[in-house]
Structure 1
Amino acid sequence: MEDSQLEFLAFDETPAEKYLGVASIRFFGQIILRYKVQRTKDGNGIFIAAPSFKKVDQSGEHWCQWFMLDSMSHNETVTNLIKTKVKAHYNSRSGGSSCDQNGFGGYNPSSAQKAAPASNGWGSQLLSPRTA
């Protein structure tokens, strides 16, 4: 799934937020993108979303993504990579080796979030300069 253009960096749970966590990827070896990982409405899976902001105009409120990939193929690859890595993260936490029907391998992220530390410090580790 990962190739020279796309590298999964980290998934950090966000126990103080409504969403499950933040997934970070490196695109083209230079650009780090972060995606919000949320449960689907029915609770049986996960949904990957780019960060967004609220825009208000005469027609009402609209949510706009901070960034977009201009390729359906790249977008699908990113989404599938993040889903695979997040499911593996929860499977490793539960000690399972495969996903069950809800994709979390028997692990319940909502109950684990209550016991997780409040800060994972994901911002600082990814913004530090790299050396060749």
Structure 2
Amino acid sequence: MNKKVLIIDDSAVFRKIISVHLRNAKFDLIEAGDGIEGLQQLANNSIDLIVSDMNMPNMDGISFIKKVKEDPKFKFIPIIMLTTESQPEKKQMGLDAGAKAWLTKPFSPEELIETISKLMV
């Protein structure tokens, strides 16, 4: 059975780009347009890893991570931040909130797949 990845990004185009690469790498995917949708998908699906943007409407990536890490059912799911934010203080905020990795857009599909594979050991 393939591992299931939840992709959270407010750009439908960007979600599709990520989806193509991850499907080619044999991952199953679920998509959400913001942190609130992400929490709903998490509650309704068995998720192995989350890839989340930082800047989104309704609930940003940092707030999303904090909510996930507060819940005993989900707190051990690895989260990768994939965002345009590259400032060290933003990255530290994400890591402090519970992200396991931080990648910046534009991203290398190979780097994303490698990072996911390392976190799903």
Q: Which structure has the larger Rg?
A: 1
User: What TM-score do the two structures reach when normalised by structure 1?
Assistant: 0.26
User: What TM-score do the two structures reach when normalised by structure 2?
Assistant: 0.28
From the two aligned structures, give the one with the greater strand fraction.
1
